[in-house]
Amino acid sequence: MTEPVIDVQHLSITYTVGAGTFYAVSDVSLQIYPGQVVGIVGETGCGKSTLAQAIPRLLPEPPATIGGGEIIFRGTDLVKVPKRQLPMVRGTGIGMIFQEPLNSLNPAYRVFDQIAESIRIRHYRDMGWVKSFQGGDVPFDYSKPAAPITVGGSLTKSIIPDGAVEEAARDRLRTRSEFRDEVLEYLRLVRINDPETILNLYPHELSGGMRQRIMIAMALSEKPSLLIADEPTSALDVTIQAQVLTLMKELIEEVDAAILFISHDLGVIAETADEIGVMYAGRIVEYGPVAEVFRSPRHPYTKALLKAAPSKYKSEGPLDSIAGSVPNLSRPPPGCRFNPRCPLVKDICRGEHPPLAPIDKTANPDTPGIHRSACYFADEVPGLP
Amino acid sequence: MAAPILVAKKDGPLSVFWRVLRANPLSFIGFLMVAILGVTALIVVVDPNLIIPYGPLQQTVARNASPSLQHPFGTDNLGRDIYSNVMLALPLDLGIGFAIAGSALLIGGTLGLIAGFYNTPGTIGGWTSVSIMRVTDIFLSFPSLILALALTRVLGLGVGPTVLAITITWWPFYVRLVRGEVLAVKHLPYVNAARAAGVTENRILLRHVLRNVLEPTIVYFTLDIGTVLVTYSTIGFIGVASKYPGPNPEWGAMLAFYQQTGSSNVYPWLVIAPGAAIFVTVLAFSLLGDGLRDILDPRTRRAFVRGTIAHEPPPEAPAPLAVASEAVTDSNPVAPVGIIDTGTRS
Amino acid sequence: MTEGTPLLEMIDLQKHFPITRSLADQLSRRPAKAIHAVDGVSLTVGPGETLGLIGESGSGKTTLGWMLARLHEPTSGSIRFEGQDVTHLKGKALRTWRRNIQIVFQDPVGSLDPRLRVWQIVGEPIRAQEGLRGKKVRDRVRALLPTVGLPVDCLDQYPHEFSGGGRQRLSLARALSVSPRLIVLDEPTSALDVAVQAQILNRLVELQRSRGMAYVLITHNVAAVRFAADRVAVMYLGRIVEHGPVRALLEHPVHPYTKALLAAVPVPDASRRRTRYRIGGDIPSLVDLPPGCRFAPRCPFVIDRCRVEDPPLLPMAGADRLVACHRAEEVRDIAPESLLATEPTPGTGTPAGSVPPSSESLPM
């Protein structure tokens, strides 16, 4: 049994703002193995984007606080890593694809330069110029702090290491010739025909679908161990979204990174993920293989969500929706956070929050990927209308 | 079955004001300073004898005295009390700052509104707008200080003509500022929504555009008072504004006089006092201006409101709307990025 | 088609946005280019009926909606409301007529003035059209809020205190305040969660039944149109490519673009993991459109004639349908699912998302 690439254990994240404390994420655990795609689905405010940004520690830490839990990435707990060492983790360790590529691509640089920069970062890592997650399974040792700088030491030591200037000059030459081939290769990987034509274009001169492909190319060119895709197709037109999803489905097979895919759209998750986690009000309420969860949801919220997608005609009566509204995360309801809106609610639901337990009571709860539900009455869910 | 709703307490505007100021200590200090300056100026105008022991030209026995209890800022070579002169100059300088900045705001702001809003090419409004902008450009191409000095030559010496001269060079900045804001707001959907409702163009300008343009303009205005003051003092320093020593002292004129007559080289408090007065006034308005931005914008203003929980459900049972607390919104700049998947998806 | 006088008729509407030309362009005397956002659209809407407009970016549906609300002036063509030509109304006549057609905008954040309170925003049309002020407006707004599902005590709050769904309801309340005959809804659901979408759509249908209003529902969300619309028009690059009753059109789409659109919608079905979408190409820009059918570069059924001759929108034989396709009869029975391949296409051979080779079972 291989180790998971990322192992999130009981993670809690709170925001402190003027009006109070928000429990954005509470007690979330998940594991992703190499080559696996885990989808997280949920509505606005459920905390899925917060979770996605917390894993590479991209959240601004003053308003956000990691209240508890661990994020173990290839053996190292990212929560304990000091801030200035975090850039080593990102990029070549964890890659991210964001929702709106017009914002995530630098408008002042051409396509070639943006992808070349990602490739260069990976180059530095491979050459050992930058400490990062070297090779396969060696976890980076963050326990040894960097040597403190003494006055005497800094005076005698040269600021620029020997040979660095020549290396930089050689690197600049390499940029245009060697990198070019690799850039073209990555552009072809994301199914852009005639990539030479777009090398010199700026992001605003490209369509949304192209920009997203370039983002994917940039993320993949760093060969990350974990790829986090946060609503990557939500800003695209329907037909373009279908194209990009097809591309991602094929790349998933070719690339063996672990992938965390966030979306609000159940259909998109169905197309890409192996396992799905449903989030509500900061907690994972159901988890399991995609086919099983869709076929037989075991949490009232999941069931309601599947039913709420409009799929009928006006003459067939009103659409199913979920009564009530998403709770205010500064004062979440006691116990199970779905209880104000749940058709199965009983007194016990307002007491202790139900644990995310396997629906098959006889199974070993530590088996990864087993179908779990955070509901005391998971067995009654299939009987709901 | 509805979840408890966070309802904003109906705070009056005053308590909101205090709360925001408390949350922003620097602007609170600025506000206090401006308040003190204002009250002091009022006292000086109404009943100067309360805090001013000597007249501006009154010569006392102590000549070139260092700061002491009797003469807090010292005296000059004829025994005139510097403290009294500085205090007497306060309402005048404040008044000058407001007069210039205020007139420039009114003139320039109005022109900017017109130029920004009625600028469809090919109409009367379009031509007006173009003419306003060209005239503005012409004025802006002169260095304002030099233009003001030149105008004072034409208009004459004294407070009034100098204020007029500076105002003439000052209004173009407001045209640029306000026009830019109007152009930014003009295309927002809520302006079109008002049009679709059948609101006349003039009313759209006054009701929607003006209100939204007012906030950054007022902030700029408060910061501008400081700049105006420095400009006036500079012109006074070059020696063309108020007469000092005279019955109506003015800080810039004091600086000019003591520096030019060389007394300040030997007795530095003669220039430190009026200089510090200018500095304190400009600082006060700058700090206040920063805080005003937070107070005026209803979005950030409400972020500091404490809420209570309303436990009874709203009258409509299946009310699906969440009157969410302020920070759980898409547009509140206080809420950090990522706190809410705003779901704004296309 | 609809019987009786249609409430709203659009006759060959066009909207061109001229592109600003540099000095060099003007000197070179090349003809001025323009973006043909809406290029000849004719539709009708009956009283109490919902017309859905589906399309992606560049289709011109939003521009068309704005033209109906007279926020854009049509470059040519006419709009008739209850039989009268209203295309060139101006000034006071226009303002008075505006109470008949209201619009709910796409952007729930930008369409509400952040500095005004709820009663001022929702009551603005009342104020403008009926001249009421102050307390009378507040009373009208107070009575109106429950019909959109908002509590009555939020009159004095600001828009930013509401969630996305709440703001959309405010926009809707504003549109309803003067009891219009028709409301143009521009992407009313796109910024909302699924559950809130369902609530809003239910509310819209209920209001239509109780007030007899017509809707023009502009969206890219096919499911919303399926539920709320009676008739649907599919737009692509400024033209209508297909038009018909909602059930028939969505279950048996004829035009290749409609099929492509319906096939692209993600479905929460785990077997979709193995499907590959086969329509490639980006949506082209509206400037410099090539001659012939606008969908030809991406169409899986394209023949030479399509690239040369622009197909007109014609009725299909034996069906209540208008289609703009040269091969309408031949392709009419091909299901959208055939545009999804189930075997993975090889990585370097046939790039995914490209037009399928002609040896497939599609008629060529």
Report yes or no: C263 and C339 within 8 Å, Cβ to Cβ: yes
Among candidate residues B4, B6, B11, the one with its CA nearest the CA of residue B302:
B11
Among candidate residues C133, C197, C134, C135, the one with its CA nearest the CA of residue C163:
C197
What is the reported pLDDT for A174?
Answer: 60
Report yes or no: B333 and B299 within 8 Å, Cβ to Cβ: yes
Task: Please state, as a whole number, how many other Cβ atoms lie within 10 Å of the Cβ of residue B63.
Answer: 12
Its CATH architecture, for the domain A6-109+178-273, is 3-Layer(aba) Sandwich (3.40)
> Residue with structure tokens 């003006």?
B210
Q: Six-digit token pair at A278?
A: 């449903």
Residue C56: closest CA among chain A residues belongs to which residue?
A237
Q: Six-digit token pair at B290?
A: 């920063």
Span C321-331, pLDDT tens digits: 999 999 988 88
Q: Give pTM, 2 decimals.
A: 0.79
Mean pLDDT, to the nearest integer, of A97-114? 84
Q: What is the dihedral of CA C154, C185, C198, A231, to 10 degrees?
A: -100
Q: How far is C276 from chain A (nearest CA, A)?
A: 5
Q: How far is C31 from chain B (nearest CA, A)?
A: 21
Q: pLDDT digit of tens for each residue in chain B (346 aa)?
A: 333 334 444 455 666 667 666 677 777 888 889 999 999 999 888 888 877 878 777 777 777 777 887 788 888 888 788 888 888 889 988 988 899 999 999 999 999 999 998 887 777 888 889 999 999 999 889 888 888 888 888 887 778 888 888 898 999 999 999 999 999 888 888 888 888 888 888 888 888 888 888 888 988 898 888 888 888 888 877 766 667 777 888 888 888 888 777 776 778 888 888 889 989 998 998 888 877 776 676 666 544 444 333 333 332 323 223 333 322 223 222 222 222 233 333 2
Asked if C124 and B318 come within 8 Å (Cβ–Cβ), the reply is no
Question: Is pLDDT above 90 for A315?
Answer: no
Cα–Cα distances in angstroms (integers) from residue A142 to residues A4, A138, A139, in the given order: 20, 12, 9
Which residues 125-144 in chain C show a CB within 8 A of chain B? 125, 127-129
What is the reported pLDDT for A65?
Answer: 85
Span C150-206, pLDDT tens digits: 888 888 888 888 887 888 889 999 999 999 999 999 998 887 888 888 888 999 999
User: Which pairing describes strands C214-219 and C50-54: parallel, antiparallel, or unpaired?
Assistant: parallel
Asked if C128 and B197 come within 8 Å (Cβ–Cβ), the reply is yes
Report yes or no: B341 and A53 within 8 Å, Cβ to Cβ: no
Question: Is pLDDT above 80 for A231?
Answer: yes
Lowest mean pLDDT among C44-48, C54-58, C196-200, C343-347: C343-347
- The helix/strand count (H/E) of chain C reads as 13, 14
- The C-alpha angle A265, A268, A272, rounded to 5 degrees, equals 140
Amino acid occupying residue B110: T
Q: Six-digit token pair at C351?
A: 């790039």
Measured between CB atoms, which of C99, C154, C193 is closest to B323?
C154
Residue B296: closest CA among chain C residues belongs to which residue?
C115
* Angstrom distance (rounded) from CA C303 to CA C151: 58
Residue C158: closest CA among chain B residues belongs to which residue?
B298
Q: How far is B305 from chain A (nearest CA, A)?
A: 7
Report yes or no: C353 and A239 within 8 Å, Cβ to Cβ: no
Residues of C in contact with B208 (CB under 8 A): 113, 116
What is the reported pLDDT for A161?
Answer: 62
Residues of B in contact with A44 (CB under 8 A): 340-343
C17-53 CB burial, b ≥16 within 10 A, e <16: eeeeeeeeeeeeeeeeeebbbbbbbbbbbbbbbbbbb
> Residue with structure tokens 């116990």?
A335
Question: Is pLDDT above 50 for A247?
Answer: yes
- 3-class DSSP state for residue A85? helix
Span C68-125, pLDDT tens digits: 988 888 999 999 998 889 888 888 888 888 889 999 998 888 889 888 889 999 999 9
What is the reported pLDDT for A19?
Answer: 65
C307-333 CB burial, b ≥16 within 10 A, e <16: eeeebebeebeeeebbbbbbbbeebbe
Mean pLDDT, to the nearest integer, of C224-246? 94
Residues of C in contact with B120 (CB under 8 A): none
Q: Six-digit token pair at B53?
A: 């022991």
What is the reported pLDDT for B110?
Answer: 93
The helix (run of H) or strand (run of E) holding residue C131 is: none
* Angstrom distance (rounded) from CA A334 to CA A346: 13
* Angstrom distance (rounded) from CA A15 to CA B205: 39
* Angstrom distance (rounded) from CA C88 to CA C65: 16
Report yes or no: A140 and A253 within 8 Å, Cβ to Cβ: no
* Angstrom distance (rounded) from CA C49 to CA C26: 47
Residues 6+ apart with CB under 8 A from A324: A340, A341, B1, B2, B3, B318, B320
Measured between CB atoms, which of A240, A272, A312 is closest to C282?
A240
Selected residue of B302, B341, B344 to mutate for chain A interface (largest A Cβ count, 10 A):
B341
- The C-alpha angle B186, B330, C217, rounded to 5 degrees, equals 65
Residues of B in contact with A20 (CB under 8 A): 307, 325, 327
Q: Does A328 touch chain C (CB under 8 A)?
A: no
Question: Is pLDDT above 60 for C224?
Answer: yes
Residue B321: closest CA among chain C residues belongs to which residue?
C166
Among candidate residues A290, A279, A277, A220, the one with its CA nearest the CA of residue A248:
A220
CA A148 to chain centre: 35
pLDDT band at C364; cut points 50, 70, 90: very low
Cα–Cα distances in angstroms (integers) from residue C188 to residues B337, C106, C301, C357, in the given order: 24, 6, 34, 39
Q: Quote the strand ranges of C170-295, DSSP E.
A: 182-186, 214-219, 231-236, 239-245, 276-277
Q: Which CATH superfamily is domain B25-57+73-299 in?
A: MetI-like (1.10.3720.10)
pLDDT band at A128; cut points 50, 70, 90: low
- 3-class DSSP state for residue C245? strand
Neighbouring subunits of B (3+ Cβ pairs under 8 A): A, C
User: Which residue intervals of chain A bear CATH 3.40.50.300?
Assistant: 6-109+178-273
* Angstrom distance (rounded) from CA C194 to CA B107: 51
Residue C203: closest CA among chain A residues belongs to which residue?
A318
Give me the count of residues in chain A: 385
pLDDT band at A154; cut points 50, 70, 90: low
What is the reported pLDDT for A172?
Answer: 60
Neighbouring subunits of C (3+ Cβ pairs under 8 A): A, B
Asked if A331 and B4 come within 8 Å (Cβ–Cβ), the reply is yes
* Angstrom distance (rounded) from CA B194 to CA B214: 19
Report yes or no: C85 and C78 within 8 Å, Cβ to Cβ: yes
What is the reported pLDDT for C14?
Answer: 92
A–C interface: beta-carbon pairs under 8 A: 149
DSSP assigned state of A175: H
Q: Does C161 touch chain A (CB under 8 A)?
A: no
Residues 6+ apart with CB under 8 A from C328: C254, C255, C314, C316
Mean pLDDT of chain A: 82
Task: Please state, as a whole number, how many other Cβ atoms lie within 10 Å of the Cβ of residue C90.
Answer: 9
Q: Does C269 touch chain A (CB under 8 A)?
A: yes
Amino acid occupying residue B91: P
What is the reported pLDDT for B335?
Answer: 27
Span A358-367, pLDDT tens digits: 888 887 877 7
Task: Please state, as a whole number, how many other Cβ atoms lie within 10 Å of the Cβ of residue B14.
Answer: 8
Mean pLDDT, to the nearest integer, of A180-184? 88
What is the reported pLDDT for B102?
Answer: 93
**Sheet strands side by side (includes A357-358):** A94-97, A226-230, A258-263, A37-41, A275-280, A283-289, A372-373, A357-358
pLDDT band at A237; cut points 50, 70, 90: confident
What are the φ/ψ torsions at residue B202 (nearest 5 degrees)? -60, -40
B–C interface: beta-carbon pairs under 8 A: 142
Report yes or no: A13 and A67 within 8 Å, Cβ to Cβ: yes
Mean pLDDT, to the nearest integer, of A256-277? 90
